[in-house]
Amino acid sequence: MTSMKSLEENSKTQLSRSKEILTFIPTALERVGSELSQEKSVSMSLDVANEFSNIKIETIKSAIKKGALGEFGQTYKLTTQEVCIWIRKEIRYRNTHDSSGRQKLTF
The per-residue pLDDT string of the chain (107 residues; one tens digit each, 9 = 90 and over) reads 456 666 576 688 888 999 999 999 999 999 999 999 999 999 999 999 999 999 999 999 999 999 999 999 999 899 999 999 999 999 999 999 888 888 887 76
d(CA 11, CA 60): 19
| Region of residue 62 (phi > 0: left; psi between -120 and 50: alpha; otherwise: beta) | alpha
The whole model's pTM is what?
0.84
